[in-house]
């Protein structure tokens, strides 16, 4: 049984494979493989551990006849055709929980960076523009007591809610299909309609996965229903917001600011107008970029492969 790994993952994952007597081939070049290259490299192997960006589509799944598992080195699985994998009897594993705290921290960082114009002011110093300033220049706003609205309150959202409550005593509202009883009990989170979430939030965070229902969910109509003083934060997937609509909303002062860890497309081009706006912070999809989270992810990704090879249930599976 052998594994193809399409990125360099932390050593802990490789050690687990070695200990289980599983050999692997790893793509270490700093470039994304095309679907055809992925097929060519993976078709003789029995598992794929993937931390790449490209689609894992039906063409790939049908071509890799020896595949026993697709093991994602991520919590998100929107890049995988789950229907096709299920049809071909291939389990798809992912790595939830271990990255919740790191991703929530990234959202927290975005909230603060936007509300205090941190990246814009940092850029001003680099440009030699730290000069005379008036007490009314470059003002941000305090997050203390402001309402945090979360679209898609799961593990990551709860981590953020906990931090926001502890640090700034932010009341939490959320919109989910069903109640998150634990968050309601422990954090006093209040479930509201989508429209109320949008119109009542001072900081509106999109934590939903990318699905046909959530694609472009945050668009011109939604931004127009937000408070003009509000911030939109997206640490989930770039496709959840409509980027031209977001640019328009910021340029026209329809919303106050935005913080993005994900963009559409990725990577964002250097000439994107969002990068020059004072009230915007953009990170290059670094939600889970901590040693702790990445070690956890590599470990689960490897354990999912070992479990599949040994005929045991995966630690985390996304097929229905
Ligand atoms: C995830 O785990 O889904 C992160 O966004 C990294 O892709």
99 CB within 6 A, ligand 1:
yes
Ligand 1: distance of its center to the CA of 235 in Å? 10
The C-alpha atoms of residue 23 and residue 14 are separated, in whole angstroms, by 9
CA of 76 to the centre of ligand 1 (A): 5
Same domain, 10 and 139: no
Catalytic machinery residues: 237, 266, 285
pLDDT in tens, 242-271: 999 999 999 999 999 999 999 999 999 999
Report the distance separating Cα 238 and Cα 285, nearest Å: 9
pLDDT score of 200 = 98
Task: Return all residues near 237 (Cβ < 8 A) that are at least 6 apart.
Answer: 76, 78, 209, 210, 262
**Of 109, 52, 30, residue with least CA distance to 282:** 109
E strand segments, the chain: 2-5, 23-26, 47-50, 69-72, 92-93, 148-151, 172-175, 190-191, 203-206, 231-234, 257-260, 280-282
- Does residue 298 form part of some domain? yes
Residue 76 Cβ < 6 Å to ligand 1: yes
Q: Do 131 and 271 share a structural domain?
A: yes
Whether residues 52 and 87 share a domain: the answer is: yes
317 lies in a domain?
A: no
Read off the pLDDT of residues 70-90 as tens digits, 9 standing for 90 and up: 999 999 999 999 999 999 999
315 domain residue, yes or no: no
Is residue 104 domain-shared with residue 75, that is, in the same domain? Answer: no
| 267 prior amide bond cis, ω within 30 | yes
State whether 70 and 213 are in the same domain: no
Query: pTM for this one?
Result: 0.96
For ligand 1, whether the C-beta of 100 sits within 6 Å is no
Q: Do 275 and 199 share a structural domain?
A: yes
Q: Which pLDDT tens digit goes with each residue over 98-154?
A: 999 999 999 999 999 999 999 999 999 999 999 999 999 999 999 999 999 999 999
Indicate if 105 and 16 belong to the same structural domain.
no
Tell me: do 189 and 204 sit in the same domain: yes
Q: Are residues 6 and 111 in the same domain?
A: no
DSSP string, 92-138: EE---STTHHHHHHHHHHHHHHHHTTHHHHHHHHHTT------TTTT
Residues 6 or more apart in contact with residue 232 via CB below 8 angstroms: 204, 206, 218, 223, 226, 241, 246, 249, 255, 257, 258, 259
Q: Closest ligand 1 atom to the C-alpha of 297?
A: 2
Whether residue 316 is contained in a domain is answered as no
Verify that 45 and 186 share a domain, yes or no: no
Shared domain check, 262 and 226: yes
CA of 34 to the centre of ligand 1 (A): 19
Same domain, 198 and 276: yes
In-domain check, residue 181: yes
Quote the domain boundaries for residue 254: 100-282
Mutate to test the pocket of ligand 1, among 99, 234, 293 (most ligand atoms within 8 A of CB): 99
Cα 143 from Cα 62, distance rounded (Å): 50
Instruction: Copy the structure tokens of residue 90.
Output: 């291939």
pLDDT tens digits, residue range 23-55? 999 999 999 999 999 999 999 999 999 999 999
> How many folded domains does the chain comprise?
2
Q: pLDDT at position 145, please?
A: 98
Helix (H, G, I), strand (E, B) or coil at 8: coil
Please work out whether the CB of residue 74 comes within 6 Å of at least one atom of ligand 1. Answer: yes
Q: What is the ipTM of this complex?
A: 0.96
Q: Is residue 153 a part of any domain in this protein?
A: yes
pLDDT for position 170: 98
Indicate which CATH number applies to the domain containing 20: 3.40.50.720
132 located within any domain: yes
In a domain, 266, yes or no: yes
For the CA atoms of 135, 140, 141, 144, what is the dihedral angle to 10 degrees? -100
- Residue 115: which of 218, 259, 284, 236 has the closest Cα? 259
Q: What is the pLDDT of residue 103?
A: 98
């Amino acid at each position: 049984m052998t594994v193809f790994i399409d990125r360099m993952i932390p050593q802990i994952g490789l050690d687990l494979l070695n200990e289980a007597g599983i050999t692997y081939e790893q793509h270490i070049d700093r470039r994304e493989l095309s679907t055809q290259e992925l097929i060519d490299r993976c078709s003789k192997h029995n598992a794929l551990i993937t931390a790449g960006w490209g689609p894992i589509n039906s063409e790939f799944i049908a071509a890799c006849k020896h595949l026993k598992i697709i093991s994602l080195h991520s919590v998100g699985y929107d890049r995988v055709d789950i229907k096709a994998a299920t049809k071909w009897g291939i389990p798809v594993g992912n790595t939830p929980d271990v990255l919740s705290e790191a991703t929530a921290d990234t959202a927290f960082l975005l909230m603060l960076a936007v509300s205090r114009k941190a990246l814009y002011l940092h850029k001003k110093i680099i440009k030699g523009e730290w000069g005379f300033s008036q007490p009314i220049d470059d003002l941000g706003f305090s997050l203390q007591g402001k309402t945090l609205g979360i679209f898609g309150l799961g593990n990551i959202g709860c981590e953020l809610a906990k931090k926001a409550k502890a640090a700034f005593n932010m009341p939490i509202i959320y919109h989910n299909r069903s109640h998150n009883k634990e968050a309601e009990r422990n954090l006093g989170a209040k479930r509201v309609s989508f429209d109320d979430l949008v119109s009542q939030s001072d900081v509106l965070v999109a934590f939903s996965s990318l699905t046909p229902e959530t694609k472009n969910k945050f668009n011109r109509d939604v931004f127009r229903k937000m408070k003009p003083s509000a911030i939109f934060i997206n640490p989930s997937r770039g496709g959840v917001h409509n980027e031209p609509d977001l640019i328009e909303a910021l340029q026209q002062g329809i919303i106050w600011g935005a913080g993005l860890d994900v963009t559409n497309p990725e990577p964002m081009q250097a000439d994107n107008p969002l990068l020059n706006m004072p009230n915007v912070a953009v990170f290059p999809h670094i939600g889970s970029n901590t040693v702790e989270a990445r070690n956890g992810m590599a470990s689960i990704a490897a354990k999912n492969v070992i479990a599949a090879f040994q005929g045991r249930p995966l630690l985390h599976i996304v097929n229905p």
